[in-house]
């Protein structure tokens, strides 16, 4: 019998049975890496195309899928890491018919934070492990784009900031960072819907909220009222003991001005600059910096291919 779940906590903390990782590619590598870091034992990897019989991944052997024949009638837990998990599940159902498998499979499929429907998201899956390895309380992440929400997902942390699924222009974002307490005490009001073109990368109208004298584009929503309500609810949840500022520069948006960048770099609080431009190297102040395009917004591959997210989060300061 094959059962399927995406409940990480139940899978690792409540269920029994030896663990096998299906897929020894990039996603499977990072799953095994974090299992080792969290002292969670697993037996081996399965892969449809093991390169060599003596190949190891994270100090564990990689075997062909027919190794499952040896586990007929034995209860095991299977982590399916590749994005083609639906095809793999179909194959496992057929193998169950042949070999009488007893298997609980976990898949990295979740409701998406930014788009409708469910999607493969290895970075949300890895969030269970990252959170275990992260010290301190969940922070408030103040960001100028949707990146704040995806970082929360990447750490399996509760949302403690209203700047989730938003777009804030440079000057307004710096004002928000420099006087955060004031703006968080101000209720957001709806300004209306405005036509945006390539400024935000989409040819459509977006709801705009105003908080005192700053404007906030409310993205990934079909209801302006719900977006405003979300902001006003989340601004009450801030962790004032742990504030992090994240400024992201998208390739299709106007570049962040040098003035805004310098003001951001000089903030006393912990901070991260995402996808900077070439002139970054010429600045005197250099906060932690991610170069890869949209690295934190991807559902695959793992963010760790570009940046040590856990190491950065665990540092006391920048």
Residue 253: what pLDDT? 67
Mean pLDDT, the chain, whole residue set? 88
Domain ranges (residues) in the chain: 2-107, 129-314
Residue 178: what pLDDT? 97
Show Cβ contacts of residue 296 under 8 Å, excluding neighbours closer than 6 positions: 147, 150, 151, 154, 248, 274, 290, 303, 307, 309
Our CA angle for 167, 168, 174, nearest 5°, is 150
Residue 219: what pLDDT? 81
Residue 48: what pLDDT? 86
Assign 199 a pLDDT band (cuts: 50, 70, 90).
Answer: low
Residue 251: what pLDDT? 62
> How far apart (Å, rounded) are the C-alpha atoms in residues 67 and 100?
13
Assign 282 a pLDDT band (cuts: 50, 70, 90).
Answer: low
Residue 192: what pLDDT? 83
Structure-token pair, residue 234: 């989340």
Assign 198 a pLDDT band (cuts: 50, 70, 90).
Answer: low
Domain 2-107 has CATH 1.10.1530.10: no
**Most trustworthy range by pLDDT among 183-192, 197-206, 272-281:** 183-192
Greater model confidence, 91 or 276? 91
- Average pLDDT over every residue of 242-259: 82
Per-residue pLDDT of 138-175, as tens digits, reads 999 999 988 899 899 999 999 999 999 899 999 999 99
Per-residue pLDDT of 296-315, as tens digits, reads 667 778 989 888 999 999 98
Per-residue pLDDT of 101-127, as tens digits, reads 999 999 999 877 666 678 899 999 999
Residue 294: what pLDDT? 55
Per-residue pLDDT of 207-248, as tens digits, reads 899 999 999 999 877 788 999 999 999 999 999 999 999 998
Greater model confidence, 50 or 182? 182
Residue 277: what pLDDT? 58
Judged against a pLDDT cut of 60, whether residue 41 lies above it is answered with: yes
Q: Which residue has the tokens 């990368």?
A: 201
Residue from 298, 133, 163, 127 nearest 243 by CA: 163
Strands of 189-196's sheet in order across: 166-167, 214-218, 204-211, 189-196
Structure-token pair, residue 290: 């991610």
Judged against a pLDDT cut of 70, whether residue 93 lies above it is answered with: yes
Question: Which of 69-73, 192-196, 208-212, 294-298 is the least confident region?
Answer: 294-298
Given a contact cutoff of 8 angstroms between Cβ atoms, the answer to whether 59 and 151 are in contact is no
- Average pLDDT over every residue of 177-188: 97
- Average pLDDT over every residue of 253-278: 82
- Average pLDDT over every residue of 51-75: 88
Structure-token pair, residue 150: 């995806």
């Amino acid at each position: 019998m094959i059962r399927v779940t995406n409940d990480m906590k139940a899978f690792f903390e409540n269920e029994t049975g030896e663990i096998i990782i299906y897929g020894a590619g990039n996603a499977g590598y990072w799953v095994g890496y974090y299992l080792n870091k969290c002292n969670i034992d697993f037996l081996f990897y399965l892969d449809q195309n093991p390169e060599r019989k003596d190949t190891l991944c994270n100090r564990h052997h990689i075997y062909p899928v027919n190794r499952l024949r040896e586990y007929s009638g034995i209860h095991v837990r299977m982590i399916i890491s590749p994005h083609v998990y639906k095809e793999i599940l179909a194959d496992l159902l057929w193998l169950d018919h042949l070999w009488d498998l007893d298997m609980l499979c976990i898949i990295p499929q979740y409701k998406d934070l930014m788009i409708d429907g469910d999607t493969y998201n290895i970075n949300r899956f890895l969030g269970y492990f990252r959170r275990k390895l992260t010290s301190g309380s969940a922070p408030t992440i103040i960001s100028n784009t949707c990146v704040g929400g995806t970082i929360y997902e990447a750490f399996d942390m509760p949302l403690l900031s209203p700047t989730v699924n938003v777009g804030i222009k440079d000057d307004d974002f710096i004002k928000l960072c420099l006087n955060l307490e004031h703006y968080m005490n101000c209720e957001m009001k709806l300004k209306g819907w405005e036509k945006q073109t390539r400024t935000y990368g989409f040819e459509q109208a977006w709801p705009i909220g105003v908080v005192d004298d700053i404007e906030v584009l409310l993205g990934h929503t079909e209801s302006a009222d719900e977006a405003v309500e979300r902001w006003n609810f989340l601004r009450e949840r801030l962790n004032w003991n742990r504030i992090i500022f994240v400024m992201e520069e998208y390739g299709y948006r106007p570049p962040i001005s040098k003035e805004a960048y310098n003001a951001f770099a000089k903030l006393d609080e912990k901070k991260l600059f995402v996808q900077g431009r070439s002139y970054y190297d010429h600045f005197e102040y250099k906060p932690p910096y991610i170069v890869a395009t949209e690295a934190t917004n991807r559902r695959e591959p793992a963010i760790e291919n570009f940046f040590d997210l856990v190491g950065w989060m665990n540092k006391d300061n920048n």
